[in-house]
Amino acid sequence: MKRGLLLFMFIMFTCSLVAREVHNINRGWKFFSNSAVSSDGALTVNLPHMWNSDALSGKRDYFRGIGNYLKSIKVPEEWRDKRVFIRLHGANSLTNVLINGKHVGEHRGGYTKFTYDITDFLKYGEVNIFWVIVNNSPQMDILPTAGDQNSYGGISRNVELIVTDPTVISLTDFSTDGVYIVQNNVSTNSVDGVVDIEVNSKVECNVTAEVTITKSDSTVVFVQSNGAYIDGSNKSQTISIPYNIQNPILWNGVINPYLYSVNVKLFKDDIVVDDIELKTGFRYYSIDPNRGFMLNGSPYKLNGVVAHQDRVMVGTALSTYQVMEDFMLIREMGATAVRVANVPHHTDFYKLCDRFGVIVWSDLPLVGAAFLTDKAFLDTPSFKNNGISQTKEIVKQLFNHPSIIFWGIFSDLGLRGDDPINYIKELNSLVKAEDPSRYTAATSSEDGEINFITDVVVWNHSLGWKEGWPDDILVWLDQLREKWSDLRSGISYGAGGSIHHQEDSLSRPQYMSSWHPERWQTHFHESYYKNTQNNPMLFGTFVGNMFDYGATGRSWGEANGINDLGLVTFDRRYKKDAYYLYKANWNKKDPFVYITESRWNQRNDPNQDIKIYSNCREVELFVNGISMGMKSGDNGVFRWNDILFKDGISRIEANAVTAKDDMYLEILNIKPMGFDLE
């Protein structure tokens, strides 16, 4: 009997293993533009792929048109009695899929997943031709239609074939996992909610869905099943399973980002026909007018950055490794929150935020105008329908990520042209209907009604960059206190800076000039950080930007086609000085010392101030081996003023108990030439 039980368990385990097959088909596509008359000269490319190297070189009129991707795949005969789906994780921005010359479907939007059932389009036991046509030309009814970010063409994320039983946990419900883990009541004592499972089938049958929730040590804390009759019409039907967990370990941000495993099995005739597993965390949160953001009942500092997922060489076609590298730079700096700017990022980015406890603000693609010719909102049915469609995709596809707390309804949306107020209200209501548990949010630099629609608003400032001075933010904070103290407000700010632009003076540059000195960017951030860090009216800070990104509409700053507001360069090779200011204040776990302005290593004046960023309590400075004294920092900033250097090269060392840094500084001591102008 024991042997029979083991055999039964082996069969069940084997069935669950083969219940759903996922085949990555990224390799070996033939790519050619629409100007080619045939595919004979096509390039062989692997996905993710984008075709706009011209945009990455700063060319303003970079190619925006049609690219073709072809791939031949022999489909096994054994799949004949299965269902086969193709899932694309992102292609920008208008995509048509054809199988063996027949049109399967069209997707409008560049950064969300889309899935088609291609079962009836395939020739089993034969070679099939997959043809994906991608168009990144400007489409005035596919969001975003504005903003300074480049709109690269290509299949920028993974493509998969998914093989299932005819009865399946839905893959086509807005291309989600077909499982929604709803959290209704969460406390330190218990979690109550419901798991909604979307099921569809091409055959009439009775099914049973089983939900098992386990802790990280594999301890089962909940298991329950529920059955349903499926009529075979292939329309999704929801099976709901309420759950309760006593004494949960809560997902507590970077303090303890605890994740549970949620396994969903689908049985038909007592055989597992589909099986998926998700990770999620349970948490509750609020924004208190006096205490700021509260996570699980305790104050929690939202030290955030604004992140665009765009890199030199690849644009938005990032590999998993590059996504990880970007995230680790954010984590090293000590950020506890990130605004995923303008469009959804790679799925792996959200998984990393879940795993390491970084709270996410995820934007919808309703983006304000960066340039005069932009049309950020058009009051047309096709524009509004696309925004609604993409909103549903984003909210549903990312629903189970515990790191996501905010849905960004719009960002920096101006009021020029068609009035977007009613549409913003419509999107806000839609998000609330799809996901009432999370906050809706907006990034705004406008006055008026537009700021009172969403649950929270983050004010985006450029005082001290585009106009005025950094300390002018104090005047605005006084106005906020007087006029809008009832709003749940956060703040965002940024200034451009190039590691190649170094100068003696410290003065605000013209932001539309080709000179963006790094020292001014650093000064800007020091001022904003000092003036906003402990303000009780601000529930969080989102520093913009984390990374430089491609923006061919810009002809100013470090180089044509780059938005250089980042704390890290476009190629991710260099962290700008301001990066270390935030690391000194936000990352208290990893001791470091950093000598600022080390790239400004040739100076004329022998009398110099030396500034250091560090998260250590005390730092000692040495010049050519001679101590300049020990200092304590203020907001992570340590200063030694009026140090007299000799002509030539000097070695500067900064030492703390557990960290050190050094640089070489050359004093040229060049005297200005005197001319008698009389």
- Quick one: 313 and 462 in the same domain? yes
- Quick one: 539 and 393 in the same domain? yes
- Quick one: 352 and 495 in the same domain? yes
pLDDT band per the 50, 70, 90 thresholds, residue 1: very low
- Domain assignment present for residue 400? The answer is yes
Apex 600 CA angle, 596 and 605, nearest 5: 105
Average pLDDT value over all residues in the chain: 94
Tell me the pLDDT tens digit for each residue of 630-649.
Answer: 999 999 999 999 999 999 99
- Quick one: 523 and 441 in the same domain? yes
- Domain assignment present for residue 522? The answer is yes
- Domain assignment present for residue 672? The answer is no
Cα separation of 390 and 386, whole Å? 6
pLDDT band per the 50, 70, 90 thresholds, residue 417: confident
Contact, 423 vs 462, CB < 8 A?
Answer: no
- Quick one: 482 and 528 in the same domain? yes
- Quick one: 418 and 447 in the same domain? yes
Q: What is the pLDDT of residue 414?
A: 85
Among residues 344, 449, 451, the alpha carbon closest in space to that of 401 is found at 344
- Domain assignment present for residue 296? The answer is no
Q: Which residues pair with 22 in a beta bridge?
A: 162
- Quick one: 109 and 220 in the same domain? no
- Quick one: 511 and 444 in the same domain? yes
- Domain assignment present for residue 676? The answer is no
Tell me the pLDDT tens digit for each residue of 114-155.
Answer: 999 999 999 999 999 999 999 999 999 999 999 999 999 999
Q: What is the pLDDT of residue 672?
A: 53
Residue type, position 262, single letter: V
Contact, 412 vs 460, CB < 8 A?
Answer: yes
- Domain assignment present for residue 653? The answer is yes
The mean pLDDT value for 192-210 works out to 96
- Quick one: 384 and 356 in the same domain? yes
CATH of the domain at 620: 2.60.40.10
For 209, the token pair is: 């869905």
- Domain assignment present for residue 195? The answer is yes
- Domain assignment present for residue 383? The answer is yes
Apex 364 CA angle, 187 and 315, nearest 5: 115
CATH of the domain at 452: 3.20.20.80
Tell me the pLDDT tens digit for each residue of 562-616.
Answer: 999 999 999 999 999 999 999 999 999 999 999 999 999 999 999 999 999 999 9
How much of the chain exceeds pLDDT 70, in percent?
96
Among residues 567, 582, 489, 559, the alpha carbon closest in space to that of 521 is found at 567
Examine the pLDDT at 326 and tell me if it is beyond 70.
Answer: yes
Please count the other Cβ atoms lying within 10 Å of the Cβ belonging to residue 238.
14
Looking at the 3D structure of the chain, how many domains does it have?
A: 4
Cα separation of 150 and 148, whole Å? 7
- Quick one: 487 and 454 in the same domain? yes
- Quick one: 242 and 371 in the same domain? no
Q: Give the domain extent around 101.
A: 17-166
Cα separation of 156 and 322, whole Å? 13
Which residue has tokens 């060392």?
653
pTM, two decimals, is 0.95
- Quick one: 571 and 615 in the same domain? no
